[in-house]
A and B are shown apart, each in its own frame.
Chain A
Amino acid sequence: MEKYAVFVPKLVTKRENFAPGHRACIGCGEALAVRLACKPLGQRVIIVTATGCIEIISSQLPYTSWRVPWIHTLFENTAAVASGIESGLKILMKKGRIAQQEIKVVAMAGDGATSDIGLQALSGAMERGHDFLYICFDNEAYMNTGVQRSSATPFGASTTTSPAGRVSIGQVTWKKDMPAIAAAHDIPYVATACPSYPFDLMDKVAKGAATPGPAYVHILSPCPTGWRFAPDLTVRLGRLAVETGIFPLYEVENGTYRLNFDFPKLRPVTDYMKLQGRFRHLSEDVINKIQQRVNREYAKLREKVK
């Protein structure tokens, strides 16, 4: 927050490298997050995007929403493509084929492309220490294909492949802790962010981009279509996810944890859940179970911050 804390909006560039006119749903939290992320990244970047909502809404031939160099190839290989670009640029500069300069490689992918199908490629790229920033835009399911569950889908959420039914509460597994997996690779920078906290988000993306070596930023991106809420609630839901402790905003810099927003008392999870159709079916018992889990996880995070 250092840079943006005072008089913030005036400091933010007006330039949109993720151009308006794309095909995202009304109220898309992910498109908002991408737009914000592109501001601090500036123009000296190459963006690699996985197959998914962002790719589909921004690149339909013969149009493009990208005012920076951009490549999409497949679903699960984003981090591998990024490592190829990064290594390619580095050696071409070393051999004097292209001018020596700072060009940041930034990978962007959804939660499925990150925590499910692309996890191996991401793990490999982080382990090899490529100088790149990986941003996961997490809308907690395979939204592009019609709201199927992923390993990032929260417990109790009803999706098209974890539907709530007479004998099921919907998703029966807990959300995979992707930032912790990234941090376990001992990379220099890991952070969580949310477009409801735009300056914090831009600050973290800027930090991640400036970090030499691998950096990972995990951005919760509320999805009106998949979570089933009114499209004017996107920003509010992001705030509630943070204020309930369901999605805390924190950083791990060289192994040191920092909680960016702490609350003396967390709001009850129902404040967040009751606004979303995907949780509508849940009984009080299940909600209590979720509340206990959130309390426990939040306490664990506070321990790490100490």
Chain B
Amino acid sequence: MAKRIGIEVSLAIAEAAKLADVDVVAAYPITPQTHIVEHLAELVANGELDAAYIPVESEHSAMSACLGASAAGARTFTATAGQGLELMHEVLYVASSMQLPVVMAVANRALSAPLSVWGDHSDVMAVRDTGWIQLFVENGQEAVDNVLCAFRIGEDPRVLLPVMIHLDGFHLTHMIEPLLFPEQSQVDKFIPPYQHPMPLHPDRPVTMGAFAPPIIYFETKKAQEVNLEAAKEVILQCWDNFGKTFQRYYSPVECYRSEDARVLLLTMGSFSETAMTAIDKMRGEGREVGLLRLRLWRPFPFDEIRQAVGNAEVLIVLDRALSFGGPGGPVCSEVRSALYSEDKRPKVIGFVGGLGGRDITPAGFEEIVDRGIEISQKGSDQEFEIFGVRE
């Protein structure tokens, strides 16, 4: 029987990586991710985790060392945040393009300048198109469960792609929650050993990372796109299997009291839990509002979004990142574009809020819903609304 333990979410993520018996951790400290890699270092130092811990000199090298370790056939884990994710940027593309299933926890953080160590999704959006599988978790239990799922999904021979688990910096990383940890034997069964089909080894020389002239580059990119799209099926199977094994179920778009809702709010990450409180209150007042929580960010769940939106008339999307000079938040843009070709579609209203650790309270979510409804009726001269900024 699994035990429930009170533990900080960052440490829990490290414990999950330990349960997955990772072989190599290459990491560089950055707030608010540090507790994850500190705890991994501790586990290795105490002999509780048999892994190589590479204390690299930068995030660029952290991800580069992960590439090397994964190419040699090792199960590889790292964690980063904000500026660290930005420094890794070009390396991220290589991990996905070379099909190296590194798993990385990202403690979502704002980007400089001005310097801010607090949470938002600016770092995520900057790496949106890097070809990684990306999922969002809202609480500690989801984080633990999805670290385990990430290894199984990424290392599946049908997939072989790196996976990012996004969790909100501080708002989630530094919470202490009562969490269930599966038994080692269950995890061993759930995640088969990593077997790269063609690892670097003298017994079977391979050339990895050859360069591509125009005659073949595009073909490799199409293959990559097809592969990432196809990974969705494996992700669904994994979550299904996880649910049957551990009785906790996950899906690409989670619906909360959304049935028959005329107005839907869509959020991503741990703010969803606050939004639920607001929805409960509004439902209590007889209002037909519901919540959609986007869990699977890449590959983007187009069908699930369309299905979840159903017959709603207004869809209010909250982004925690700005696309400067653009159409508002990236989540809103993508959701809107996913719905555009539908014959019957809701009005999609975009909000940007919660940047750099700015809180949104349940009352704040009510305000967003009210204002969203108002815009849907009266229109607005803005492409999107910025919420919670002092004028």
Contact = CB atoms under 8 A, between A and B. Distances in A.
Interface of A: 43-46, 48, 55-56, 59-64, 66-74, 76-77, 79-92, 94-95, 97-98, 103, 120-121, 123-125, 127-128
Contacts of B24: 84, 87-88, 91
A134 to B, nearest CB: 14
B58 A98 contact: no
Output the residue of A46, A67, A98 with the most chain B CB within 10 A: A46
Output the residue of B55, B56, B202 with the most chain A CB within 10 A: B202
Contact of B94 (A67, A69, A74, A87): A74
Interface of B is mostly: mixed
Contacts of A74: 64, 90-91, 94
B72 A46 contact: yes
Contacts of B208: 69-72
B21 to A, nearest CB: 9
A64 B207 contact: yes
Contacts of B54: 83-84, 87, 128
A125 B55 CA distance: 10
A75 to B, nearest CB: 9
Contacts of B57: 120-121, 123-124, 127
Interface of B: 23-24, 26, 50-52, 54-58, 60-62, 64-74, 76, 90-91, 94, 98, 193, 200-202, 204-213, 216, 220
B58 A71 contact: no
A45 B202 contact: yes
Contacts, number: 171
B205 A68 contact: yes
25 contacts: A44-B202, A45-B202, A60-B212, A61-B213, A62-B210, A68-B202, A69-B205, A70-B206, A71-B207, A72-B208, A72-B211, A74-B94, A77-B67, A79-B61, A80-B64, A81-B64, A83-B26, A83-B68, A84-B67, A87-B74, A91-B24, A97-B73, A121-B58, A121-B61, A127-B57
A129 to B, nearest CB: 11
Contacts of B204: 69
- Among all A-B residue pairs, the 6 with the closest Cβ atoms: A84-B68, A124-B57, A84-B65, A77-B64, A88-B72, A80-B64
A81 B216 CA distance: 25
Nearest to B73: A92
Contacts of A63: 210
A202 to B, nearest CB: 19
Given A59-B210, A83-B56, A103-B201, A91 B67 contact: no
Output the residue of B54, B64, B201 with the most chain A CB within 10 A: B64
Contact of A94 (B50, B56, B73, B210): B50
Contact of B55 (A56, A62, A128): A128
A59 B50 contact: no
B73 A95 contact: no
A128 B71 CA distance: 20
